[in-house]
Amino acid sequence: MNASRQSGEFVVSWDSPANFQLQHRSDLSQGSWTDETTPPTVNGTVKTVRLPLTAPERFYRLINR
């Protein structure tokens, strides 16, 4: 998993043939994880999600589905 800041976006990408779902939440100590609704772009086995930097602060994780 790679995360970077590019041209006003937060970019998360991962390389895997498996199905993964990007999830987020605003507080690591409480609350449930929410599926990120922005669909990834796919290039071979590399999936990339681009999110605006204006979004609220969040913590992210990938889960295998």
Number of folded domains that form the chain? 1
Tell me what pLDDT residue 63 has: 94
Tell me what pLDDT residue 65 has: 83
Segments forming the whole domain that contains residue 15: 2-64
Burial (CB count within 10 angstroms: exposed 0-12, middle 13-18, buried 19+), residue 56: exposed
Report strand pairing: 2-6 vs 34-35.
unpaired
Tell me what pLDDT residue 56 has: 77
Tell me what pLDDT residue 57 has: 85
Give residue-wise pLDDT tens across range 37-65. 999 999 999 999 999 988 678 999 999 98
